[in-house]
A and B are shown apart, each in its own frame.
Chain A
Amino acid sequence: MMERVVHAIQCIGCPIGCGGEVVVENGAVAEMSGFTCNKGLAYAAEEVVAPKRMVTTTVRVSGGGLALLPVVSAAPVPKERIFDCLRLLRGVTVAAPVAEGAVIVSDALGLGVDFRAARDISSLQ
């Protein structure tokens, strides 16, 4: 028997925020409507089967001009692993100086995603 599920998906790809529908038949995307760019179509197709999000948080800094370093995932992370990533990063302390783009945690939890420094942090003078 054919299983047909219609998902209402709100795109988060850009500030326009298109809303649309994705029809999944027997576990595969069969139809999509309402999305106005390729990025939106790709997001919507992924959102119904394996949703992912970019993750941004902070890690501790020692000897720096600031107490915290903002970090960002280099690619979206599976939604259900976000809190695992956060737990991992909570235990990380980096020594200043740090350069923007530096890899803070590589291949986090074996997900194939690095976390990188989102800014420079100078050493405490």
Chain B
Amino acid sequence: MRELSYDVVTIGGGPAGMAAALAAREAGAERVLIIERDRELGGILQQCIHNGFGLRRFEEELTGPGYAHRYIDMVKATDIDVWLDTTVLAAEPGGVITSVSPHAGLMVVRAKSVVYAMGCRERTRGAIRTPGSRPAGVFTAGAAQRMVNMEGYLPGKEVVIVGSGDIGLIMARRMTFEGAKVKAVFEIMPYSNGLTRNIVQCLEDFDIPLYLGHSVTAIHGKDRVTGITVSQVNDRLEVIDGTAFDVSCDCVLLSVGLIPENEIGRAAGVALDPITSGARVDQFRQTSIPGFFAAGNVLHVHDLVDWVSEEAAIAGRSAARHARGELPASGPERSVAAGEGLRTVVPQRLSALEPGKMSVRFYFRAAKPMGASVLQFWADGVLAFERKLRVVKPSEMIVADIPVRKIGDAATLEFRVVPAPEKTEAEDAIEEEA
């Protein structure tokens, strides 16, 4: 068994792991390692062959593999070590990482800083408690995406999609391109959880109907799925009697949400946020265990990879500073709360602010869709900052930079999203007409 030591180790070699490793190296970490369980770097981007990635980060539209390649090339141009086909079994406080691979066997690595970048998993049929038999042909949309785009298998020819997350929408188009008939997409909520652009270019372009407020109440079939039963739901998401109808199909794809894949963090005793299912972090992306950082979808599920890269760079830089003993002491902890209108906020706490820092960037998810709104920042119960939002959708992250002078010495920070005052809407309307 070999034992090695590194300044910074990222667990995961997807967009978050690569961006964190690069930022750590740039920030002066001498020995940096990426541990990746797949046969290549890039993570889930490698199966996302559609375009639309990188508009913010690279100012052009790339495919998933194209975006991954940019980062793989950057990693290759450095002396960052990469272990492929290697699975991390444990990462313990103190920075002892145990991993295993077919070529190197069991390995123990000592890391001064660890960055969690394990990404997320898809919620499954069990997670949404869909009744019925257990036939073949029921897949998560991402698993089907890998089969179609990388392995060369078509999971079915008559498809229904449950849930309207982006992967489900993208797969509706992809299955159509591969000759399958996508009969419908069923979404339990009264709104879609996918990006509007994907509803247009993946469903409307191909006349695939989207049923909002509909839930799957049964899956039929003995060996292979033969169909599903769908019912309308009321505003409390309860099935409305008498609205059930059947749809025949040989394949059901589930796009019903993502959960951070956080088993390694949980086992190490990292404090978690019950809503994001990721670690609770400060503005350096440091978890409750000193020297352990988190970034990307293992921290909170992002809508755009561009934000993942940006956030991971923060974690990587912080990890490098911690490795050199230069990360400022956390100081008295200040809590950050997602209040009215919001579901999540990251970071969830603030450590002592760095001198010279002008603003702190926060990422939010809204609780429900809203029209023109105002993002409010409350410091110790006093409204300290407001920003107008043109529109609010739970599927899209809200990102806001809060000036440090507005944060001041407040001990409790809270964010809210409230409807824009009527007057503002009227003003906007006049502006538009002019």
- Give the interface of A toward B (CB within 8 A): 10-15, 17, 19, 33-34, 53-54, 56-58, 60, 65-68, 70, 72, 79, 82, 86, 100, 118-120
Contact: A15 with B197, CB < 8 Å? yes
CB nearest to A54 among chain B residues: B51
A56 to B170, CA, bound (A): 11
Given contacts A67-B150, A119-B65, contact A56 B197 (CB under 8 A): no
Contact: B205 with A53, CB < 8 Å? yes
CB-defined contacts of A17 to chain B, threshold 8 Å: 195-197, 200
Contact: B49 with A53, CB < 8 Å? no
CB-defined contacts of B63 to chain A, threshold 8 Å: 56, 70, 72, 118-119
Contact: B150 with A118, CB < 8 Å? no
CB-defined contacts of A14 to chain B, threshold 8 Å: 55, 197
What are 11 contact pairs spanning A and B, CB under 8 A?
A12-B197, A12-B200, A15-B52, A15-B396, A17-B196, A34-B432, A53-B205, A60-B152, A72-B63, A118-B49, A120-B69
Interface status of B247 (Cβ within 8 A of chain A): no
Given contacts A10-B196, A100-B69, A118-B66, contact A56 B51 (CB under 8 A): yes
Contact: A57 with B177, CB < 8 Å? yes
Nearest-neighbour CB distance to chain A for B198, whole angstroms, equals 8
Contact: A56 with B55, CB < 8 Å? no
CB-defined contacts of A79 to chain B, threshold 8 Å: 205
CB nearest to B197 among chain A residues: A12
CB-defined contacts of A19 to chain B, threshold 8 Å: 196
Contact: B150 with A68, CB < 8 Å? yes
Interface status of B151 (Cβ within 8 A of chain A): yes
CB nearest to A10 among chain B residues: B200
A97 to B50, CA, bound (A): 22
Nearest-neighbour CB distance to chain A for B227, whole angstroms, equals 27
Q: How many residues of B contact A (CB 8 A)?
A: 31
* B195 in complex: contacting residue of A15, A57, A58, A72, CB < 8 Å: A15
Nearest-neighbour CB distance to chain A for B14, whole angstroms, equals 15
A39 to B357, CA, bound (A): 34
CB nearest to A87 among chain B residues: B179
Interface status of B61 (Cβ within 8 A of chain A): yes
Nearest-neighbour CB distance to chain B for A3, whole angstroms, equals 24
CB nearest to B51 among chain A residues: A54
- Give the interface of B toward A (CB within 8 A): 39, 46, 49-52, 55, 61, 63, 65-66, 68-69, 148-152, 177-178, 195-197, 199-201, 205, 303-304, 396, 432
Q: What total of A-B pairs shows CB separation below 8 Å?
A: 75
CB nearest to A19 among chain B residues: B196
Contact: A86 with B177, CB < 8 Å? yes
A118 to B168, CA, bound (A): 22
* B201 in complex: contacting residue of A53, A57, A60, CB < 8 Å: A53
CB-defined contacts of A12 to chain B, threshold 8 Å: 197, 200-201
Interface centre among A34, A72, A86 (most CB of B within 10 A): A72
Nearest-neighbour CB distance to chain A for B210, whole angstroms, equals 13
Nearest-neighbour CB distance to chain B for A123, whole angstroms, equals 14
A79 to B39, CA, bound (A): 36
CB nearest to A100 among chain B residues: B69
A113 to B49, CA, bound (A): 18
CB-defined contacts of B196 to chain A, threshold 8 Å: 10, 17, 19
Contact: B150 with A15, CB < 8 Å? no
CB-defined contacts of B148 to chain A, threshold 8 Å: 58
* B197 in complex: contacting residue of A10, A33, A67, A119, CB < 8 Å: A10
CB nearest to A53 among chain B residues: B201
A81 to B177, CA, bound (A): 12
Nearest-neighbour CB distance to chain A for B167, whole angstroms, equals 15
Nearest-neighbour CB distance to chain A for B119, whole angstroms, equals 19
Nearest-neighbour CB distance to chain A for B76, whole angstroms, equals 11
Nearest-neighbour CB distance to chain A for B363, whole angstroms, equals 14
Nearest-neighbour CB distance to chain A for B83, whole angstroms, equals 18
CB nearest to B304 among chain A residues: A15
Nearest-neighbour CB distance to chain B for A90, whole angstroms, equals 9
Nearest-neighbour CB distance to chain A for B281, whole angstroms, equals 24
Nearest-neighbour CB distance to chain A for B194, whole angstroms, equals 10
Contact: A100 with B66, CB < 8 Å? yes
Nearest 4 A-B pairs (CB), nearest first?
A17-B196, A70-B49, A119-B65, A12-B197
CB-defined contacts of A86 to chain B, threshold 8 Å: 177
Contact: B46 with A119, CB < 8 Å? yes
CB-defined contacts of A100 to chain B, threshold 8 Å: 65-66, 69
* A68 in complex: contacting residue of B152, B197, B200, CB < 8 Å: B152
Nearest-neighbour CB distance to chain A for B413, whole angstroms, equals 27
Given contacts A14-B55, A15-B303, contact A56 B49 (CB under 8 A): yes
A28 to B51, CA, bound (A): 30
CB-defined contacts of A54 to chain B, threshold 8 Å: 51, 61
CB-defined contacts of B52 to chain A, threshold 8 Å: 15
Contact: B65 with A118, CB < 8 Å? yes
